[in-house]
Amino acid sequence: MAILVTGGAGYIGSHTCVALLEAGYRVIIADNLCRGSAKAIKRIECITGKKPAFYCLDVTDAAAVDGLFAANKIDSVLHFAGFKAVGESVAKPLLYYYNNVVGTMVLAGACQKYGVQHFVYSSSATVYGPNKVPFREDMLLLPAANPYGETKAISERILTDAAKANKGWSVVLLRYFNPLGAHESGLLGEDPAGVPSNLMPYITQVAAGKRERLYIFGGDYNTPDGTGVRDYIHVMDLAAGHVRALEKTKSSPGVHIYNLGSGVGYSVLELVRTFEQVTGIAIPYEITGRRPGDIDICYADPGKAYRELGWKAGKTLAEMCRDAWRWQQANPEGYATAE
């Protein structure tokens, strides 16, 4: 029996494949490589010594997904495949709703048809909207200010309803906070195409001299230094959280929601200062206007994941910076020029 990892050639999916293979699971990756890289899959094998099976397919393609389920004994699905850039989702809402929502529906449909009862979904803290911190799983979700957040909230509802209708199903909805860092080997990391929409790749590209300065969106938030506060979590901690979530699906039917965050908020400037201390490189920055839809403070109450999954984030902000920088130095052009 195998674990199907959609989006396994992407940032979080590839790191999670390492954690799954190291925990002894057999892994099948399904990814259309629109934002991920086949080189990430080779490197998963380099790190673990185990080769995941790979299907290059689009998860919105129902016939292709059906073929995959028909040809393999799949035990569980970890669904990472999707688009994640908030700004792009505002500019291209239909692309986001189609890719993120239809992909979830096609996979849930295949699970129903082939009797696959375990499903772990990559959701986001974005679904909390402007709630009061710390965010708890039982909070009423407020509408996110962007289509990306809506695709996550809708996918959560679809999976919740599907789990209610299918006896024996266990669905775990994981709400990630802000993933950073890279595998400590420097072989896997975040590889954005074009201008990074996430903070850390932007910082590392400034440090590498590829970009002149970091633009910080908003210096007048209601926070100690005026820049936004976020809950950063090392991608390998996040990967470990998925292994625990998968174990949960085996023992507990129903729907389970967990925050995967550290529970600590750091401002953008604190992150920049930590990066500078760890690497010894100054990061020139400029504070510009707020980005529409951004909130001032976002951090998790991670207590439920600790109580029910025995999981908590262990790696520090300094480790996130060190590992992200190691990845950037070893792969100046990401996977584009990598072996």
Query: Contact region for ligand NAD (CB under 6 A) — 19-27, 31-39, 110-118, 249-257?
Result: 31-39
User: Is residue 103 a contact point for ligand NAD (CB under 6 A)?
Assistant: yes
Tell which residue, 12, 69, 79, 71, has the closest CA to residue 44: 12
Burial of 21: CB neighbours in 10 Å, binned 0-12, 13-18, 19+:
buried
Choice from 34, 91, 142, 336 touching ligand NAD (CB under 6 A): 34
Active-site pick, 11, 121, 148, 258: 148
Total residues belonging to the chain: 339
Number of residues that bind ligand NAD (CB under 6 A): 26
Give the Cα separation of 129 and 220 in Å (integer): 19
User: Is residue 60 a contact point for ligand NAD (CB under 6 A)?
Assistant: yes
Choice from 54, 55, 69, 80 touching ligand NAD (CB under 6 A): 80
Give, for 18, the enclosing helix (H) or strand (E): helix 11-22
Task: Pick between residue 7 and residue 219 the one whose CB is nearest to ligand NAD.
Answer: 7
In the block, tokens 């590839």 appear at 14
Choice from 9, 27, 172, 246 touching ligand NAD (CB under 6 A): 9
- Closest CB 29 distance from ligand NAD, rounded Å: 9
Q: Between 169 and 198, how does the x/- string for binding to ligand NAD read (CB under 6 A)?
A: -------x--x------------------x
148 is catalytic: yes
Amino acid (1-letter code) at residue 256:
H
Burial of 172: CB neighbours in 10 Å, binned 0-12, 13-18, 19+:
buried
User: Is residue 31 a contact point for ligand NAD (CB under 6 A)?
Assistant: yes
Give the Cα separation of 21 and 5 in Å (integer): 11
User: Is residue 81 a contact point for ligand NAD (CB under 6 A)?
Assistant: yes
Give, for 122, the enclosing helix (H) or strand (E): strand 118-124
CA 159-161-167 angle, 5° bins: 95
In the block, tokens 């500019």 appear at 91
Choice from 3, 4, 11, 129 touching ligand NAD (CB under 6 A): 11
Interface residue list for ligand NAD (CB under 6 A) = 7, 9-13, 31-36, 58-60, 80-82, 84, 99, 103, 122, 124, 176, 179, 198
Residues taking part in catalysis: 148
